[in-house]
């Protein structure tokens, strides 16, 4: 059975850091686009970062580029999102997702249309 589970959210002051983790059980990393999206109350879903499973290049939204880093540990079937220099506008529910295609990882990021995602983890940044 395939499962996706996020962890690592919390509350932090502006300028702080958090690292989110995503365990993807029984997902063939190399055949999926993996990534993160977020959604704040009353706002549209926004793709944050994506990476082709295995050894793909990462993609980032303009709003997080230079502050967030997506990474993966293939041996552990786990994906991470390191978030630095957090801002109040980063406050949202964060979801990790997987998409087997055929859309490119860049398209999946821009449209935030991962086909599978977890329950989410809340990130709250106070100014």
Please check the confidence at residue 29 and state whether its pLDDT lies above 90.
no
**pLDDT in the model for residue 54:** 76
Model confidence at 3, pLDDT cuts 50, 70, 90, reads confident
**pLDDT in the model for residue 1:** 76
User: At 91, phi and psi to the nearest 5?
Assistant: -65, 125
**In sequence order, what are the residues at sequence separation of 6 or more whose Cβ sits closer than 8 angstroms to the Cβ of residue 69?**
49, 58, 81, 82, 84
Model confidence at 14, pLDDT cuts 50, 70, 90, reads very high
Please check the confidence at residue 39 and state whether its pLDDT lies above 90.
yes
């Amino acid at each position: 059975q395939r499962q996706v589970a996020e962890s690592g959210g919390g509350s932090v002051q502006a300028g702080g850091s958090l690292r989110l983790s995503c365990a993807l059980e029984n997902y063939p990393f190399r055949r999926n686009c993996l990534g993160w999206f977020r959604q704040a109350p009353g706002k549209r879903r926004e793709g944050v970062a994506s990476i082709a499973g295995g050894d793909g290049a990462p993609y980032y939204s303009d709003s997080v580029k230079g502050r967030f880093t997506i990474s993966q540990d293939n041996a552990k079937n786990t994906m991470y999102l390191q978030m630095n220099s957090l801002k109040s506008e980063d406050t949202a529910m964060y979801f990790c997702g997987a998409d087997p295609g055929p859309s490119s990882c860049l398209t999946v990021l821009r449209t935030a249309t991962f086909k599978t995602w977890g329950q989410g983890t809340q990130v709250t940044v106070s100014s």
